[in-house]
Amino acid sequence: MVDLQSQYLKIKLEIDSAIQSVIDSTAFIKGRDVQLFETELAEFTGAKHVIACGNGTDALQIALMALGLKPGDEVITSTFTFIATAEAIALLGLIPVFVDANPDTFNIDVSQIRRKITSKTKAIIPVHLYGQCADMEEIMNIADEFNLFVIEDTAQAIGTDFTFGDGTKKQAGTVGNIGTTSFFPSKNLGCFGDGGALFTNDDELALKMRAIINHGSKITYYHSEIGVNSRLDTLQAVVLRIKLKYLKEYISARQKVAEYYNSAFQHENRIITPFINPNSEHTYHQYTLKIADIDRDTVQKQLDENGIPSKIYYPVPIHLQEAYAKYGYRKGDFPIAEKLSETVLSLPIHTEMDEEQLRYITSNMKEIVNGK
């Protein structure tokens, strides 16, 4: 699905010497490169503040902590996402309130958010799934109207531009009160282990989050709030500083792969290619198709027999996960997400794909869906 080895080999000299310099300095925690990376990522995204942390799941939890939400408060999010989004909500004793997905974009269906709002609702967490932004314009309108916080889960969409109705563009993660992201190795900007970050334009929230990631401390051994230990290692920061320089190239390499797939599949009735959203760029963290009129799992099995990896993101929507049964949802509550979980299929997409691989994958895929 990814080829991190080839990507590394292209920048090996740079990476190896940067890693060696951290080892030589022994500044493994809170080294200068962490700050430098934060500044560079702030410049790249347009966020006023970037606070690096341990991983994307922690980032979500830290964001919710910083907003001062209390157990029992309700947080609206999509049921069709990676588990981390709901996990952070549930861990803090907050109540995840799920909303179905939009069948075209796979993102939260904004037309269904309003009817989920109660007097306990405090926040909305849209997820920019697969590399395409949720409808941030409508989400911000709803948030303004009902006085809700917005945390954007940007783990899959770093560097993705959202265009507002008036033509203004902003990057994913910089529109709501807080944006969170992940540098898990396979993400579009991935490090060599776990890593994450928080974005905000709010000075006070930035200070608070910076304290929370470091045991709730602004001054060493003085603790103004209850925090966590979730810092980005200096070793990861040097890797990320280098890879950030290439992020634009990495994104356009992914977009080229997607274009190849899109044109190869354009006349295939059983393959529905990703929706092109006029308001959002697509940075293709995943290239996710919908399979129509034919069993998706059979297609996947046949791809596998031909040596072609593929993945299902995600086979079970969160409202049907065992651990989330206590929130009282049932099968049938979110028909779109449930249908998507049975029909989506993600093909390999990464920065190192060549035309031969793409030709092999697309020709096999076409034969398989047409039963040849």
Q: Which positions touch ligand PLP (CB under 6 A)?
A: 55-57, 81-82, 84-85, 127, 153, 155-156, 182, 184, 194, 196
In the complex, what is the shortest distance from the CB of residue 164 to ligand PLP, in angstroms, rounded to a whole number? 23
Name the minimum Å distance from CB 127 to ligand PLP. Answer: 5
Q: Which is nearer to ligand PLP, 82 or 261 (CB)?
A: 82
| Amino acid present at 59 | A
Nearer Cβ to ligand PLP, position 51 or 365? 51
Q: Which is nearer to ligand PLP, 310 or 362 (CB)?
A: 310
Q: Which is nearer to ligand PLP, 18 or 191 (CB)?
A: 191
The nearest distance, CB 140 to ligand PLP, in angstroms, is 20
Closest separation in Å from C-beta 21 to ligand PLP: 25
Q: How far is the CB of 81 from ligand PLP (least distance, A)?
A: 5
Q: What is the 3-state secondary structure (H, E, C) of the chain?
A: CCCHHHHHHHCHHHHHHHHHHHHHHCCCCCCHHHHHHHHHHHHHHCCCEEEEECCHHHHHHHHHHHCCCCCCCEEEEECCCCCHHHHHHHHCCCEEEEECECCCCCCECHHHCHHHCCCCEEEEECECHHHECCCHHHHHHHHHHHCCEEEEECCCCCCCEEECCCCCEEECCCCCCEEEEECCCCCCCCCCCCCEEEEECCHHHHHHHHHHCECCEEECCEECCCCCECCCCHHHHHHHHHHHHCHHHHHHHHHHHHHHHHHHCCCCCCEECCCCCCCECECCCCEEEEECCCCHHHHHHHHHHCCCCCECCCCCCHHHCHHHHHHCCCCCCCHHHHHHHHHEEEECCCCCCCHHHHHHHHHHHHHHHCCC
* Residue among 81 and 121 whose Cβ is closer to ligand PLP: 81
194/281 with CB nearer ligand PLP: 194
User: Are 58 and 196 a contacting pair, CB within 8 Å?
Assistant: yes
Residues 6+ apart with CB under 8 A from 272: 289, 290, 291, 292
Q: How far is the CB of 58 from ligand PLP (least distance, A)?
A: 7
Residue 354: CB minimum distance to ligand PLP, A: 26
For the CA atoms of the chain, what is the radius of gyration? Answer: 21
Q: Which residue is nearest to ligand PLP (CB)?
A: 56
Q: How far is the CB of 6 from ligand PLP (least distance, A)?
A: 22
Q: Within 10 A of 354 (CB to CB), how many other CB atoms are there?
A: 9
Nearer to ligand PLP, 181 or 300 (CB): 181
CB of 346 to ligand PLP, least distance (A): 12
Nearer to ligand PLP, 244 or 368 (CB): 244
Nearer to ligand PLP, 193 or 294 (CB): 193
Cβ 176 vs Cβ 152: under 8 Å: yes
Q: Spell out the residues 6+ positions from residue 222 whose beta carbon is closer than 8 angstroms to its own.
A: none
User: Of 286 and 310, which CB lies nearer to ligand PLP in the complex structure?
Assistant: 286
Give least dist CB 238 to ligand PLP, A: 18
What is the C-alpha separation between 183 and 124, in angstroms, rounded? Answer: 23
